A and B are shown apart, each in its own frame.
Chain A
Amino acid sequence: MMFEGNESTLAIDIAFWTIAASTIIGAIAVVHLKDLFRAALFLIVSLLGVAGMFILLRAEFLAAIQVLIYIGAISILIIFAIMMTKDMEQGSPFNILKFPAALISIIFCAVCTVIFLSTDWNMSEIASLDNTLESILIDGMANVFTNTIPYIARLLIGNFIITFEIIGVLLLATILGALALVRE
């Protein structure tokens, strides 16, 4: 079933289109600007737009994570790397695959859009639920989305505990690998 929230007012529509436009324009600027430093700054604009989308999707915790990790850490890392390499003056030129790559990307986007618009997202086997069960489900969904953080914590520490611990090992390995790579 599709879960429709109560978010269809005009103000939220305007917010969605503004955020979508700024995200897409930021993404285009990342790819098209010659100046690498400005491209990194537009990457921050685009990432902020994605955080806004998370808020529109009622994933406020993820929006906070997005701002902290992507904007606070990753973009700073990228800007440092840009400043440490001398190729900054040359900008970022295209290679010989510019037009084939553009063609492939446009075809991919068109195919995805057609598929998204033609798929019936109301999963049919769910429609066999009876009415009381469905109302319980909708109430529970509204309950989950009023405050997602306890549920996220329960899922992370409960059902996804193995992935959670593997992610910890991955971060440790990344720290060791990065240290080993940049050592003099």
Chain B
Amino acid sequence: MSLENFLIVSAIIFSIGLYGALSKRNAITVLMSIELMFNAINIAAVAFSRYVVPAKSTMWMIGDDIENSVQFVLTGQIFSMFIITVAAAEVALGLAIIIAIYRNIRTVSVTNMSELKK
């Protein structure tokens, strides 16, 4: 089990999410596929922060204080936390938009949402 295993699993999940987001008609399924893509990115970020150590760059940030700079290996986890928060906000707004559209035109199919074209 190494970095490559996690990265390949992440790539597979991202591709499945990409396939779903491109090829489904139901807007809620598209949102779920986008969630899968976010999760794949999170796995990749945390795996990088676990296995690849940017020691030189962190020392550059702090000076040469190596004991204080090792905490920057957790930067991937912090990014992942922000991604989770933004994904939560995105899903809340996306579902609100979908429900508002459903109230008006009685469908959640993305191929029928063509009001702006007319």
Contacts and interface: CB of A to CB of B under 8 A. Distances in A.
Contacts, number: 263
A85 B35 contact: no
B78 interface: yes
A148 to B, nearest CB: 6
Contacts of A5: 50
A140 B8 contact: no
Contacts of B88: 69, 73-74
Given A39-B29, A174-B89, A101 B55 contact: no
Interface residues of A, number: 96
Given A2-B51, A97-B23, A137-B66, A113 B8 contact: yes
Chain B interface SS verdict (over half): helix
A133 B108 CA distance: 58
The 3 A-B residue pairs with the shortest CB-CB distance, nearest first, are A140-B70, A101-B22, A92-B26
19 contacts: A1-B55, A20-B9, A24-B12, A39-B32, A47-B35, A50-B42, A57-B43, A85-B28, A93-B26, A95-B110, A97-B23, A105-B15, A121-B51, A136-B66, A145-B50, A151-B71, A152-B78, A156-B78, A175-B92
Interface of A: 1-5, 7-8, 12-13, 16, 20, 23-24, 27-28, 30-31, 36, 39-40, 43, 46-47, 50, 53-54, 56-59, 61-62, 65-66, 69-70, 73-74, 77-78, 81-82, 84-87, 91-95, 97-98, 100-102, 104-106, 108-109, 112-113, 116-117, 121, 123, 125-126, 129, 133, 136-137, 140-141, 143-145, 148, 151-152, 154-156, 159-160, 163, 167, 170-171, 174-175, 177-178, 181-182
Interface of B: 1, 3-9, 11-20, 22-26, 28-29, 31-33, 35-36, 39, 42-43, 46-47, 49-56, 66-67, 70-75, 77-78, 80-82, 84-89, 91-93, 95-100, 102, 106-111
